[in-house]
Structure 1
Amino acid sequence: MKKIRVLIIDDERAARSEIRRLLAGYPDIEIAGEAVNVDDALKMIQEQKPELLFLDIQMPEKSGFDLLESLEEVPLVIFTTAYDQYALKAFEVSALDYLVKPIREERFEKAIIQARQRLGKTDPTGQIFVKDRQQYHFIQWSSVHLIESMDNYARIFFGDKNVFLKSSLNQLEEKLNSTIFFRINRAQIINRQYIQTITTMDGRLKITISTGAQLEVSERQSAKFRQWAAGK
């Protein structure tokens, strides 16, 4: 049986010990480690590759949100905190669950069940965490239909929303799954899953995506796009 690798991140020893005690009753979960601050957690995530984080929100110097913003690939997250005022913000970012300390065993069990269900339906393209103004978002890459370059930012379109990520299009292009995403011109990357039609107009390739937006493939990228669209 493949175990779920978990990282516990909390600056309070008692809180970490309590989560460890609660996890002892779940043989399908393996504790990959514990971190007491954001910097330690970042190193451990890069080394241990956990699938699930139990993450305290308020910690010295940097918060749990700061940690998530610094990650290129974000595991599933269950927030843990003693402060109720963070609850709404946590759910706005679509965290897997939110546990208020002291954690009740029945609520903990519910969170574990949700984690098992979600990991059974893992998105192979992964997810990112973005802070845009005062809003926080977990974004599944599979839900992104278009990425546009905006000065020093990338504008990410998903569903009926869009957010700004401080990243160049070149940096994103290197990280994205090239079988799913393609850079059609200097300013835009599209997701194959949202292409509805491909037509030629005045010698140029035109793409219509599921939102109704019409996009143009640059002349330089046309030959590569045809091969990519054909799955070659």
Structure 2
Amino acid sequence: MRTLIVDDERLARNELKRLLEPYTKIEIVGEAANADEALVLIDELQPELLFLDIQMPGKNGFELLSSIEGKSPEVIFTTAYDEYAIKAFEYNALDYLLKPIDVERLKDAIHRIEESQIHPEVSVTANDRAEKILGENDQVFVKDGEKCWFVKLGKIRLFESMGNYVRLHFDDQKPLVLKSLNNLEERLDSNTYFRANRKHIINLHWIEKIEPWFSGGLLVTLQGGDKIEISRRQAIRFKELMSL
């Protein structure tokens, strides 16, 4: 994947190049120290991917993206500041890496690039995104305290109500978001996400085992070991949904 690194700090560019060395599919075709240099190189080199800093002399990273004519490359933001993460999401970024860049987070970002090539998605505006039903290939921005993630919904195996918050279960992470479970249920694709009971929405693709449970309910075990009870009322819907 033809890649351009845009960062005003030479040491940061060199460090990123070093971190990217193990990824043979990432071909670094150039680097730029500011937006003006980057625009020239984008026009000349036609990169497919930008690793883009946000705060730079002159135009910032967002202004650079707004100045690109024609189809924009995919973008992974690299920055020392987490306050721009929500705005980065509006630009449909693949990921948002905080400096100093963590090796595992970079690995996740590269994996997301590979998946985006296998499952290309139609770009949508922020307003469109606010209305559309979210499926397993959509990404969501999650911030909990000082940590933030771009998470592909298909990786989230369980949504758990915690009062006015919802806990998301993905990988070994369990961040809280200020949302109600009912609000999330309205946004999620019902072919993939099922309301098991008052407190839980499960990802059907993560079910490993189903057992009969008390009072006509069901007990499902998700990959990773979570055990969730499907209420008797929801068990009827579940059986209808999962039957031929």
TM over 0.5: yes
Between the aligned partners of 1:164 and 1:49, the Cα distance in structure 2 is 35
Which residue among 190, 199, 203 is the counterpart of 1:178? 190
Which residue among 174, 198, 207 is the counterpart of 2:220? 207
Between the aligned partners of 2:218 and 2:188, the Cα distance in structure 1 is 23
Per-residue Cα deviation, 1:40-75 (whole angstroms, up to 9, x for no partner): 99xx8xxx997733647479xx9422424x65x953
78 and 137 in structure 1: CA distance in 2 versus 1, 3 angstrom threshold: closer
Per-residue Cα deviation, 1:90-113 (whole angstroms, up to 9, x for no partner): 548936899xxxxxxxxxxxx9xx
**Aligned residues of 2:164 and 2:180 also touching (Cα < 8 A):** yes
1:157 partner amino acid: H
Which residue among 219, 225, 228 is the counterpart of 2:241? 228
Which residue among 94, 107, 119 is the counterpart of 2:105? 94
Shift of residue 77 of structure 1? 3.6
Unaligned runs of 5+ in 1: 9-13, 80-85, 99-110
Between the aligned partners of 2:150 and 2:139, the Cα distance in structure 1 is 7
What corresponds to 1:138 in structure 2? Answer: 150
What corresponds to 2:37 in structure 1? Answer: 18
Indicate yes or no: 2:200 matched with 1:188: yes
Q: Whose strand fraction is larger, Structure 1's or Structure 2's? A: 1
115 and 135 in structure 1: CA distance in 2 versus 1, 3 angstrom threshold: closer
Shift of residue 17 of structure 1? 2.0
Per-residue Cα deviation, 1:173-208 (whole angstroms, up to 9, x for no partner): 222222211111111011112111112123211111
Between the aligned partners of 1:95 and 1:225, the Cα distance in structure 2 is 38
How many pairs does the alignment contain? Answer: 191
**Aligned residues of 2:218 and 2:235 also touching (Cα < 8 A):** yes
1:204 partner amino acid: G
Q: Which runs of 4+ in 1 moved over 6 A?
A: 35-41, 48-51
Between the aligned partners of 1:201 and 1:115, the Cα distance in structure 2 is 38
SS at match of 1:94: helix
SS at match of 2:190: coil
What corresponds to 2:118 in structure 1? Answer: 121
Between the aligned partners of 2:79 and 2:161, the Cα distance in structure 1 is 31
% identity of equivalent residues: 26
TM-align CA RMSD: 4.3
97 and 192 in structure 1: CA distance in 2 versus 1, 3 angstrom threshold: closer
198 and 96 in structure 1: CA distance in 2 versus 1, 3 angstrom threshold: closer
